[in-house]
Structures are given as structure tokens and as C-alpha cells.
Amino acid sequence: MSKRAAFLDRDGTIVDDPGYLHEPDRVKLLPGAGEAIRRLNERGFVVVVVSNQSGIARGYYSADDYHAVQRRLAELLAAQGARIDGDYFCPHWPDVTGAGGGEPCDCRKPGLKLFREAQAAFDIDFARSWWVGDRLSDVQPALRLGGQGILVATGEGNLHQGQARALDVTVVADLAAAADEILRS
């Protein structure tokens, strides 16, 4: 049987977003985020981080820097009994195309490539899955893939609440409240 997943944005959803986060010592979990992920783990959700990381294409940091931040995030989550099962990121700049044409790459959210890769790797049922983030691009894939989206008011979320509600996307305070919503369903 296919699994349920919680697709989570990283910056502004799980961790504080200082802008182009690339230093492991600057990784700070948002309040309640570790516990929220632990509860999703315990209830059998595959927890997948999908993140746009245009700072790599812009030359602000490297893919190795991204992975160092992810290792620190894993340490902080493990200390709270939580884990991330899958980690996917788009290293492209918004105006840089994946194939040299005029369209953005399909791995940059709200593109679907990384979600489909996770689906294949973990046998995920999109219809039983959730997308959580602080930007519309984090939750729009849910609308296209048949799942449920939740916008969190942390990070950039306050800027997108009206648009999210117009799309019938649930808006909550933070990742802990999103986990509550997911686990109630």
C-alpha cells in the first residue's frame, strides 16, 4: 500500500530563514518544529523536505554547504526524536532554465519533478499526502497532484495568506499547528 507523506519546505517552515541559509551554525529550529516532525514520524508519514535553493546558482554557496546545513538540521531533529526521510532541492535561480529554453526547470517549486522523484523513491500516495510551507510555491503542488496544502504563517507566510485562502488552502500559525491539522484528518 502506498504511503502518506508530509512534504515540508525548509526555510521559514522548519527553520528560521535568515536568507540564503548556508552556515550550519546558523540553523535554528522554529518553535515546535521538531516535535511536529516527530509526531508525523510516529504516525507513519514519510517526511520529505523539498526546498528551492537558488543561492547555489547565484554563487552564494555550494551544494556541499546545503548538505552541511541539512546534516545540522538532522542533528537538531534527532535530539528531539525526529527525522527527515527524504531531502530534495532545486539549485537553480528562478530565471535560469533547466534545459536552456525559455521555461523554468521542473525541479523548482511549484514544479513537480522533485515530488515525483520522492513518490517513486518512497511509494507515496499523493492523494493521501500534505504539502506544508510558507510560500504559495510550497503548497501549489498539492493542488496539481491531488493532495492537501497548508500555508504556515511563519517565514514569508503572512505575505501569502490571502492568496492561499483564495485557493482554498488552509492557513495555520506554524508547523506544529500544521501537524495538528494533518493528524486530525
Structural domains for the chain = 5-184 (3.40.50.1000)
C-alpha count within 13 angstroms, C-beta hemisphere, residue 56? 14
- Choosing from 11, 17, 87, 174, which is the catalytic residue? 11
**pLDDT per residue as tens digits for the range 16-50:** 999 999 999 999 999 999 999 999 999 999 999 99
pTM for this one? 0.94
Determine the pLDDT at residue 93.
Answer: 77
In this prediction, residue 78 has a pLDDT band, given cuts at 50, 70 and 90, of: very high
| Known catalytic membership, residue 11 | yes
**pLDDT per residue as tens digits for the range 89-124:** 999 977 655 445 556 688 999 999 999 999 999 999
| Known catalytic membership, residue 125 | no
Strand ranges (E), the chain: 5-8, 46-52, 86-90, 130-133, 148-152, 170-172
